[in-house]
Structure 1
Amino acid sequence: MRKDSPWKQNVSLSILKSHENGFMEDLDKTWVRYQECDSRSNAPATLTFENMAGVFMLVAGGIVAGIFLIFIEIAYKRHKDARRKQMQLAFAAVNVWRKNLQQYHPTDITGPLNLSDPSVSTVV
């Protein structure tokens, strides 16, 4: 809060009243956990599996998500390759059709055919 704020005095008084009423101490007891140190033990604290379980769970979740994404990627690639193969087969069929058509009509047909009027063809 800024020094010249008009709310500064009201907020300060509210905090002071909360301390006097014991409300702040109740909040400390509820949310802040105090642990007394064991005066008999001089050994350093060690990390156990329970302390690190969250880290291992995150790593395992990342591995599972990665494997899932790999399967999605493989499926997408297969779909894309199948589609590309269909397009290549279609282009090959069109080329064979054009070669067969050129055997009967020696002119070069490269444009679209006018199917409504067969007497008109696009010759280049």
Structure 2
Amino acid sequence: RRRVLRFSPPVHGTSAGSQAMTRFFWEQVEPQSVGTFDFHGQRYEFKASHLTDMATIMLMQEKFADRAPWILAVLVVLICVIVGSLFSSLGLGIKMIITVVLPIIAEFGLIVGIYQSGWMEWAG
């Protein structure tokens, strides 16, 4: 049988504190919590694991972050090749990269810089 111990700390489920607590459990608590003990002649094995919605999101994000550059690059090339072949034009695929893909990447980088790095804090 499996027993579950639950507790709810006073942090929001997706806050930075929740992420830090998840990392702490993964890196400090889980590796040190494996053990066995005997009770009334029966051997029991104990292993703590931390599984929350935040932990699931963090695991998915780590997997996506590793694969995303390759997936997105292949997808962009594939779309440009398909559009270029539909119109029988090599230049159209290259033009799509210059006029569609690069501006989207630049806009995304600008938005990340503004909201996460605080580039526009001086503007209020």
Q: TM-score, normalised by structure 2?
A: 0.26
- Which of the pair is proportionally richer in strand? 2
The structure that has the greater radius of gyration is: 1
Q: TM-score, normalised by structure 1?
A: 0.26
Higher RCO (CA 8 Å, separation ≥ 6 residues)? 2
